[in-house]
Structure 1
Amino acid sequence: MNANNSNNSGNSSGNATRDIVAKLWNLCNILRDDGITYNEYVTELTYLLFLKMLAETGKESRLPENYRWQDLDGREGLEQLEFYKQLLLDLGSAQKVNDPAVLAIFTDAQTKLRKPTNLKSLTDAIDSLDWFSAREEGLGNLYEGLLEKNAAEKKSGAGQYFTPRPLIDAIVRLIKPQAGEIIQDPAAGTAGFLVAADRYIKEQTNELYALDAKAQDFQIQKAFRGLELVPDTHRLCLMNLLLHGIESAVDCGDSLSPDGETLGKADVILTNPPFGTKKGGGRPTRSDFSITAETSNKQLAFVEHIYRALKTNGRAAVVLPDNVLFEDNTGRKLRQELMNLCDLHTILRLPTGIFYAQGVKTNVLFFTRGKSDRGNTKAVWVYDMRANTNTFGKTRQLTLADFAEFEAAFGDDPYGKSPRIDQGEEGRFRCFTREQISDRNDNLDIAWLRDTSDDPEDEMTEPEEIATAIATHLKNALSAIADLMEELENVV
């Protein structure tokens, strides 16, 4: 499930970038008559911005001649629209394009624009933007700002592909990815985790200049791996990576199919897998799965992928809904296997309201792959950031500062081995031994604080928010029923 970004996240987005994002987003109003959705608009902008950004950065040699920004921008009317349609087809053809990144972005690309005047409005508006300032502040920041706008727009439904950037940045700061490590996201979304890990490494290495040429090449070409299932989201992912100087492969595919086996082993896995069940109730088709081979619950299956994909001593941080912590049968077996194979050292109970769908309660699980296959988890530390906390949403957005107390409690060691203090029943951070967890039937949905805060759903006033919350509850209920029926079938 990979809904926020920008100046709250620790990025260096400046005023010029925010102004450009606002102007580009307002252009969406032009396209209402063409029946274009928010997601389609961002995809359309991706095609046009890619052409313009290559022109602005002097990298148009990646495109074949006669398929560049000036070739499009210099045309008018119906001629321009017809040329644009053909350009999209040709840039997605291996016969015309040699650059794999360009080819991947334009594969199966087609425009939703129907009126020549709308295309001209877009190209003229893009031409008139302050590109000097955008380059100075970072074209990647500009593009991430657009992704944030799309994710924050409830009608787009894109929040499921966009994890809040303050949460991502807090996780990356704790996991501390290092130059030379292979970093994987098997549910890449728009590449938020990979981009943040790259940014962190660049901050530690003077923008990679502290590394030798071979190490620099590894960071650009090989350090980051991932898969994204949805083709249009994959397109946005590739564009985001490219604008941040990352050429590593994130392919379009399903990590719960044999595609996932091709990702290989990783030193670090950072991810927010999609919520719900596989489409049509399908099961994973991985030959290496055992615990989750017969379940349609995607989150459980992704956990199995992650602990299988981690190298010895590899570390992971994964955003997961509450049901992964308490589901019985397959869920319990998976948790037992996870705690045997890995040191599940920390669970962060996240506040509600930080994702696009109200009612989705989530956690971050931090764990390290052990050297042996038994008994790696001796104790689990649980930090409750949910009880008696602020309600997050449009009026109170999540910021990096909200994670300061958790980061201090977690400590500096990315393996969770820093000295820690159990804050007791009145505090937010507590330690539970493996024996205590076993006595709970391996239920990790551990809460001890009495929550007196208001339910964020009580404060909803917008019809779209209320409808989204109802739809989420129905979806969760149907998913729970499907899982129960599945377990009953296995018993029979």
Structure 2
Amino acid sequence: MSNVTHDIVGKLWNLCNILKDDGVTYHQYVTELTYLLFLKMAEETGTEDQIPEGHRWRDLEAKAAPDRLEAYKVTLIHLGSHGSTLVKEIFANASSFIKKPATLSTLVAEIDKLDWYNARKEGMGDLYEGLLEKNANEKKSGAGQYFTPRVLIDSMVAVMKPTLDDIIQDPAAGTGGFLIAANHYLREHSDPDSWTEAQQRKYRRNTFFGMEHVQDTHRLALMNLMLHGIDSDPNAGGIHYGDTLSPEGQALPLSTLILTNPPFGTKKGGGLPTRTDFTYPTSNKQFCFLQHIYRGLKPGGRAAVVLPDNVLFESGIGAQIRRDLMDKCNLHTILRLPTGIFYAQGVKTNVLFFTRGEKDKGNTKEVWVYDLRANMPQFGKRTVLTKQHFADFEAAYGDDPLGGAKSLAKRKDTGELGRFRRFMRDEVATRGDSLDIAWLKDDNDTNGDELPEPAMLAQEALIELGAAMEELRGILAELGEDILEVEG
């Protein structure tokens, strides 16, 4: 992020204090700001023709201060059903949380004062993504749950090497970070000016696909894609508003590249997803998304997916799904991620890299595990995760995004003292098909008999209890039993 962009992002974020005084929460802040920024940015980029006359930025500015809030609320409702498809999607069910006319007038004046000339020059997309990142880093906003660190996304994209021939999907799109990074990579590694008309058409209409089931997050994603030059008209791919774990998810096209960080936890209210095409029904969201991903790849298609540790070791249906994954795909690489890089400090995560086989049996011959967790710093505000932390992993991974046999033969097993090791398929089988493989003594972890922090233990216990409760609710619901609500 350039200094100019950083400065503008800081000024935009400071406006949250004005909204806070009007009772607007952190959770609502970026959504509220998105409505206003969309109108202003359309004026700045000369794309106001998609917004009906009478409801543009200058129309809002022209209103007398006491009448402006009422006019703004009318505009939000009007744009939910008028204008371009994109406008209607961004303003679908929109409403303002602002109560005082003076608050809106201050926001309009402050947004107008920003350095829009340099913002246009630096790139509106970077400005908006900077704002989303700022919001994700603010714990009170709760936004970190859908914001994957950009350096992690960039590393996953770098080894997956997107091309113009790819159909790229993120079934848990959040604010669109993976699709934007993939777009950035393929434009940097190809000359858009040399693309044929057919390639241009394919790029615009049949390259980027995603789904997001939280409407406020969906509008942020549409805005983000638009500002990064990706056609976010739902008729041209883009990110759809819907639930991937419902029949809506079956409408996502078979893809050659899937990049995603699915939500953790169990389906709300327990019970199974409403999709009927999964071989292994479960209320565990990660296992449901994992099935969607490897079933959603074309033969020869590849995926990089962030998943929590429990996906690597859970028995029962979990083990069956892992076996099915290793049969249908070449699960060639697992990257054990450091702790503290997501919004919940205690959550331990990994990236699984796999390629769909031409046939459905025996595709995984060996699994390489890179341990970037043991003896790493505790990441957070003091120690920031950077691109450099992934450099050795990317070098060890090699140049083949598919993890083919020839490229795996070139990899070097660093032994018990190193971070990169190979485990043959039969070795994994003797572990009960558990992929939770660690060998390095982690001096940061438990130092002999020392227990982890009590708060972390309590948090992990709550996550486990919550998952167990949801499973039990699901069983009762399937048996048609009433669920007693316990007062507490």
Q: TM-score range by the shorter chain?
A: over 0.9
TM-superposed CA distance for 1:74, in Å, is: 1.9
1:66 to 54, 69, 77: 54
Once residues 405 and 335 of structure 1 are traced to their aligned partners in structure 2, the CA distance between those partners, rounded to angstroms, is 27
Structure 1 counterpart of 2:371, one-letter code: D
- Deviation per CA, 1:26-49: give whole Å up to 9, x if none: 110111222111121100110000
Determine if contact 1:76/1:120 at 8 Å carries over to the other structure.
no
* Equivalent residues in 2 for 1:235-254, closer than 5 Å: 235-247=219-231, 248-254=237-243
Structure 2 counterpart of 1:429, one-letter code: F
- Deviation per CA, 1:390-442: give whole Å up to 9, x if none: 11001111111100010011011101232100111111000000000000000
Distance 1:486 1:54, change over 3 A: closer
* Structure 2 unaligned blocks of 5 or more: 232-236, 479-488
- Deviation per CA, 1:170-205: give whole Å up to 9, x if none: 000000010021100000000000000000011012
Q: How many residues align?
A: 467
Distance 1:436 1:204, change over 3 A: same
Identity of aligned residues (%): 58
- Aligned twin of 1:204: 189
- Aligned twin of 2:172: 187
Determine if contact 1:324/1:331 at 8 Å carries over to the other structure.
yes
* Structure 1 unaligned blocks of 5 or more: 1-12, 461-465
Structure 1 counterpart of 2:263, one-letter code: P
Structure 1 counterpart of 2:435, one-letter code: L
- Aligned twin of 1:313: 300
Determine if contact 1:352/1:361 at 8 Å carries over to the other structure.
yes
TM-superposed CA distance for 1:219, in Å, is: 1.5
1:424 to 415, 419, 426: 415
Asked if 1:446 corresponds to 2:434, the answer is no
Asked if 1:108 corresponds to 2:93, the answer is yes
* Equivalent residues in 2 for 1:134-149, closer than 5 Å: 134-149=119-134
Asked if 1:20 corresponds to 2:20, the answer is no
TM-superposed CA distance for 1:287, in Å, is: 2.3
- Aligned twin of 2:324: 337
Once residues 379 and 469 of structure 2 are traced to their aligned partners in structure 1, the CA distance between those partners, rounded to angstroms, is 29
TM-superposed CA distance for 1:132, in Å, is: 1.0
TM-superposed CA distance for 1:482, in Å, is: 4.4
Distance 1:220 1:121, change over 3 A: same
- Deviation per CA, 1:233-268: give whole Å up to 9, x if none: 001010000101111421111111101100020010
2:279 to 283, 290, 297: 290
* Equivalent residues in 2 for 1:387-406, closer than 5 Å: 387-406=374-393
Structure 2 counterpart of 1:188, one-letter code: A
Once residues 237 and 250 of structure 1 are traced to their aligned partners in structure 2, the CA distance between those partners, rounded to angstroms, is 7
Structure 2 counterpart of 1:80, one-letter code: R
Counterpart secondary structure, 2:423: strand
1:118 to 103, 112, 116: 103
Distance 1:71 1:253, change over 3 A: same
TM-superposed CA distance for 1:138, in Å, is: 0.6
1:41 to 14, 22, 29: 29
Distance 1:140 1:374, change over 3 A: same
Determine if contact 1:187/1:272 at 8 Å carries over to the other structure.
yes
Asked if 1:225 corresponds to 2:212, the answer is no
* Equivalent residues in 2 for 1:80-99, closer than 5 Å: 80-93=68-81, 96-97=82-83, 99=84
Structure 2 counterpart of 1:270, one-letter code: L
Counterpart secondary structure, 1:300: helix
Once residues 487 and 397 of structure 1 are traced to their aligned partners in structure 2, the CA distance between those partners, rounded to angstroms, is 43
Determine if contact 2:272/2:474 at 8 Å carries over to the other structure.
no
